[in-house]
Structure 1
Amino acid sequence: MADTPERDEDCPEERLRVLAQLEDWLTTPMLFLSFAWLAIVVTELIRGTDQLLTWLGTAIWILFILEFLLRITIAPDKLRFLRNNVITVIALAVPALRLVRAFAVLRAAHVLRGFRLVRIVGTANRGMNALRLTLARRQFGYVLGLTSLVIALGAAGMLSFEPAGMAGVGFTSYWDALWWTIMLVASIGTGPWPETLEGRVLTTLLTIYGLAVFGYITATFASFFIGRDAEDEQGEVAGSAEIRALRDEIAALRTELGRR
């Protein structure tokens, strides 16, 4: 008996096309939910949670899970899809553990801080993806927006992990933590230094990000000012007009030498 031809909807190419269409359709609502989730996480890290934030966060989290399940159902290569979204999977699993309050180990301080750290990293990853979709064609705008997001979220996390204690070590306010995070990302580190493991891990991640990105921002500003100086006829840096004139003179000299 002849083999049954493969249906179009079972073809990997067709599934990829449907997945791309779904992601295009979900771009705007997921962008809105991602930024709303970011605002909720930062607010909870700074001021603590309340019933309204808990309900809003849970509703958005459920929508994130439904969106992820829909995408993985359509994806032709599910293992590859999971490998490309490991951070997303972990970030979606952590809120579920927060709902399980029957186990005493999940209420331990260090475990709760660990969940909080994973939540911060997952929120940063989701915010990064949202900014990439929003500012896809503006590379400097994307880097600047991502840096602002990392600083704001990192400062909230440091305030949560390292609040001012009895000995006065730690951060007394969000603005104090924000100034400290800006200095850290700008490679101008200053005290106080974190005491908790989660605070040290977050500090390491912020430092790595600062080393990777701050040089790019500095080079972009330098290129901007050098370009403006090159456009100035009285500037010390040669502009395109001066370089073009120099090329014309060299061409004329070559012509003259060829005639002789």
Structure 2
Amino acid sequence: MKMALSEFALREKGIYGVLHIVILLLSLFLVVSISVDTFKGIPFYTQTVFMKVQFAVCVLFLLDFILEWFLAKHKVRYFATHFVFLLVAIPYQSIISWAGWTFSEEITYLLRFIPLVRGGYALAIVVGWLTYNKASGLFVTYLTTLLATVYFSSLAFYVMEHGVNTLVTGYGDALWWAFMDVTTVGSNIIAVTVTGRVLSVLLAALGMMMFPIFTVYVTSLVQRRNQKKQEYYKELQGGDIK
């Protein structure tokens, strides 16, 4: 019976698409929730509704991992290559709340972003469906990842530096800092907290890794266009000779 169920599910490849879309939508919900709580200064641990919803989202992520592992032909390989998705699906915040543990403000806030790693993987797959070739899909995925990282970093920077750093008077300052830092240009806003300094280093490193990819992508587009022009001119010349 187990083999029959597995074979049936493997034939129905559409189930993977549904799962990835659901995960992506749930991740977007978490992003909106984190943003609203950040801008309004709401302590999310006091929100029973949010805690229940986030717990439900993490449970769905765990069920998705178990289902995909069950459907995988090579289960050991799948577990080894996707183990990180199991780790990020664990509802750490609910466990901390139930256990009554206390951590610093930085840790409790940053823990909220952990489930979004799973959403990023789903986003990469969905983007691959919507793009016409692998290079474009990879480029859009990198671009989306970069923008998402800049946004999340600006939120964390705003929470940690606002009220402590006189240069951060509003979220706009944090967003400006994030964009300037990821371009490795830098800004006049200097982090004063440990978390802010760590984010400054990570964003700059991410920018140095990501922007060369954009250059390579644009170069490949130009080369491909030039190649098509050359092929077109060769066809014209061949037609004239005939």
TM, length-normalised to structure 1: 0.66
Q: Which runs of 4+ in 1 moved over 6 A?
A: none
What residue in structure 2 maps to residue 28 of structure 1? 21
Matched, 1:108 2:103: yes
1:168-183 superposed matches below 5 A: 168=166, 171-183=168-180
Gaps of 5+ in 2: none
Aligned-partner Cα distance in 1 for 2:148–2:53: 21
Aligned-partner Cα distance in 1 for 2:169–2:68: 43
**Contact 1:185–1:207 (Cα < 8 Å) also in 2:** yes
Q: Judging changes above 3 Å, is the alpha-carbon distance between structure 1 residues 72 and 42 closer, same or farther for their aligned structure 2 residues?
A: farther
1:144-223 superposed matches below 5 A: 144-165=143-164, 168=166, 171-218=168-215, 220=217
Alignment partner of 1:90 out of 71, 87, 103? 87
**Contact 1:156–1:174 (Cα < 8 Å) also in 2:** yes
Aligned-partner Cα distance in 1 for 2:192–2:12: 45
Q: What does the per-residue CA deviation read over 1:179-199, in whole Å, with 9 as the maximum and x for residues that have no partner?
A: 110111111122433333333
Q: Judging changes above 3 Å, is the alpha-carbon distance between structure 1 residues 222 and 23 closer, same or farther for their aligned structure 2 residues?
A: closer
Aligned-partner Cα distance in 2 for 1:196–1:18: 53
Aligned-partner Cα distance in 1 for 2:232–2:13: 46
**Contact 1:16–1:75 (Cα < 8 Å) also in 2:** no
| 1:100 alignment partner, SS class | helix
Deviation, structure 1 residue 155: 0.8
**Contact 1:117–1:157 (Cα < 8 Å) also in 2:** yes
Which amino acid counterpart does residue 240 of structure 1 have in structure 2? Answer: K
**Contact 1:158–1:199 (Cα < 8 Å) also in 2:** yes
Deviation, structure 1 residue 176: 1.4
What residue in structure 1 maps to residue 126 of structure 2? 134
TM, length-normalised to structure 2: 0.70
Q: Judging changes above 3 Å, is the alpha-carbon distance between structure 1 residues 181 and 75 closer, same or farther for their aligned structure 2 residues?
A: same
**Contact 1:42–1:156 (Cα < 8 Å) also in 2:** yes
Which amino acid counterpart does residue 93 of structure 2 have in structure 1? Answer: P
Aligned-partner Cα distance in 2 for 1:81–1:19: 19
Aligned-partner Cα distance in 1 for 2:231–2:115: 51
Aligned-partner Cα distance in 1 for 2:33–2:142: 22
**Contact 2:24–2:122 (Cα < 8 Å) also in 1:** yes
Alignment partner of 2:31 out of 20, 31, 38? 38
Aligned-partner Cα distance in 1 for 2:196–2:99: 24
Q: Judging changes above 3 Å, is the alpha-carbon distance between structure 1 residues 82 and 100 closer, same or farther for their aligned structure 2 residues?
A: farther
Moved more, 151-160 or 17-26: 17-26
Aligned-partner Cα distance in 1 for 2:229–2:78: 48
Alignment partner of 2:113 out of 103, 120, 123? 120
Tell me which structure has the larger Cα radius of gyration: 1
Deviation, structure 1 residue 19: 9.5
What residue in structure 1 maps to residue 60 of structure 2? 63
RMSD: 3.9
**Contact 2:23–2:119 (Cα < 8 Å) also in 1:** no
Gaps of 5+ in 1: 1-6, 232-238, 253-260
Aligned-partner Cα distance in 2 for 1:168–1:61: 37
Matched, 1:240 2:229: yes
Identity of aligned residues (%): 21
**Contact 1:15–1:75 (Cα < 8 Å) also in 2:** no
Aligned-partner Cα distance in 1 for 2:10–2:166: 57
Q: What does the per-residue CA deviation read over 1:118-163, in whole Å, with 9 as the maximum and x for residues that have no partner?
A: 443542x234213212211343333332222122111111112222
